[in-house]
Amino acid sequence: MKQPGDLISAFLASSENGAVHVHQTHGGMWVGIESGCAICELLRVRTLREELPWSELSLRAEKALLTHRIKTFRQLVQRTLPELKRLRQFGPVTIKELQRLLEGNGLSFGMRP
């Protein structure tokens, strides 16, 4: 039996304002986040439970996250940008890298999941 996370699909949908976004799941990767879309919300919740993709991060970012015991997307998004800037090892390069990671997954700093 296939699990929802094993499904590989692409889906186009129009929103009320005419924007088109794409859903694509394969090992937790997806794009096209839209507020009010049930599929987007399901994927967002699923992503929050996942561990951060260590192989996609620089050694600098990995070390900073592990030093502060941040291992999942949920733990990362709960931190605000000013809070991260105050922490040791979270310089501008590391923060920019983490922002790109979160934006690519439809997330941002300071979320309260």
> Phi first, then psi: what are they for 99, rounded to 5°?
-60, -45
Q: Pick the closest to residue 34 from 25, 43, 64, 26 (CA basis).
A: 43
- Cβ 113 vs Cβ 48: under 8 Å: yes
Q: The pTM is what?
A: 0.66
Q: Predicted confidence band at 113 (pLDDT cuts at 50, 70, 90)?
A: low
**What residues does each domain of the chain span?**
4-49, 54-104
pLDDT in tens, 36-67: 666 666 667 777 888 899 999 999 999 999 99
Residue 22 pLDDT exceeds 90: no
Decide: 25 and 5 in contact? Cβ < 8 Å. yes
